[in-house]
Structure 1
Amino acid sequence: MGSPITRPCQTVAGAMLTTPKTHGLEITVSDAETAFTDAHVHMLLLTRRGVLHGTLLRADLDPRLDPRHPALELAALAERTIGPDQPIDEALRLLSRGQTRRLAVTDSDSRLLGLLCFKRASNGFCSESDVLARMDEQPR
């Protein structure tokens, strides 16, 4: 029997976080750098009215840029999004190819539906309860 994360019948919708944190389109490089100071943040989702316009990884940021530079100009969507009905196996292939552990989940109109987060231990996907537990651990 295969592991639960590689069952062919499981879809992205069943494994994604449904309430990911988002950022507006106006954030700057400096704002993005600040967001990435949290070690649990691996991808920033840049949205307006629920539509995903770009994703940012730490590697997208260029320290030579003016900190006031619009982060959206560095953002990408290609290879960083997946549909909710895609099989988990396809998500794992995309994650491996992109050498990342995060994929934004969008519908055909680029509406953000969630975030697929592959655990560092490579033993499954983050759950809503995992995220809530981490929030409880952080100092207020």
Structure 2
Amino acid sequence: MEAQLASEPTSVPDLQVGLYQIVDGHPRLIGNQCEECGRMHFPRHEWCARCCSPDLTDVLLNQRGRVSAFSWIDRQPGDAFIRAPYMQAEVEMPEGVSAFSIVEAEFGGLKIGETVELALRNFDTPDGCRQAFVFRPIQRQGGEQ
């Protein structure tokens, strides 16, 4: 995986457009909430998955969530631009939705329930450099992750 910290919001195109935006210098995932029944969605939906209402309002999600499941990927699919090994995880956000992405953690370095935060990374793809969201563990006391 050729990934680099995206230190500044730049002109690097998004790998998946519309999943996040920069707020006060930090990335925030964008979900939406149904005006009829209150259900939250991520990624955003055109209509509510519960009541089918088209009345949805965008909501910026918290920058932090908790790992609910993860997998260590040690074999790379032939057409993948992210090189194995890497960690993927489902992260439960406080708003009641989950996001699935890469987590910057070493093998054995992640636990269910651990708090992670959103970050942006630049990836080299066949279409050039693209920016995507990832998660990383929160620094613990003593500098350990």
Q: What interval of TM-score do these two structures reach, taking the shorter chain for normalisation?
A: under 0.3
Greater helix fraction, Structure 1 or Structure 2: 1
Greater strand fraction, Structure 1 or Structure 2: 2
